[in-house]
Structure 1
């Protein structure tokens, strides 16, 4: 695949992931602005989709399967446009690089694994029953994977990663450091894995 084609693929994958993250916030912000729905939609979305640790210790779920779905659904809900924008900024910085290095499928898998890893870390290391929202666990996973793949050979890449992490941390009004740590660890572990190589050709 040529560099131009690879660049377009990375851009399209990043755009698709960004749209997936942005769509719920667009609906919720529009409802709060009075364009449609009701202002209470955000609270309803948090109740339905946030990561609630109590659901795994006896609290009653709103719908069947919520205790499982919340390990991913929390990443689709944000506290507002600023919260979403920071995560989209990290996605735009990191996702194209990871797609270019590891492929679209692997990069998307790492993003999802970061959400799961972030929720597990929040469950194990958190000290309360407060709900968690936001895709930063997945963004930190992208950073962890890139760091694992780069080592010390790509200082520019490390600078970009550090910038993305700084933006995440500085903009977080209520920092869920457990999710960031868990997402980063998941991405780093997956980034250490062997990349798929071209298929071998057998001699006749």
Structure 2
């Protein structure tokens, strides 16, 4: 492997621990992750966890915080394109969420651990994702003439639920095999985007 092939964090033990923590959360679930597994995956001594993070809990929090902020940054790119091309931007955003949730379901569950287990939505992910949902609502309202804020909000709830629910409960839909290929998933998110951006009730084509 030459230097160009090396991951950007290859020489940074702290970043290797963060990447390994995310990997172990996905492989085993947040409740089954151990310091020993993370250290082995990062190819560092167990003592490095205490040196860089003081505790396993702080390491997991840092890893999950990093993944949230990565998601928020990518979301911003799609949201910024909403005014120019709402359908493509929304399809891209929903597709990004769907692919990420299907690829990393245990990371998603870890982000919502408090919500699933204690009905607690005060954690980092619900708090940081709330402004994204509000911006998406505003983008949908701006893209659909005659759509009021509450109607736009309902459309956003429906679209995001249709994206995240199949990822968290994939086994429920396994018999349908509806999202098994990239083409299936692309068709799915484009249909969701079209529904979300469909004309408001009572609006005719001439009115638009």
TM-score range for the pair, normalised by the shorter chain length: under 0.3
| More contact order relative to length (CA 8 Å, sep ≥ 6) | 1
- TM-score of the superposition, structure 1-length normalised? 0.28
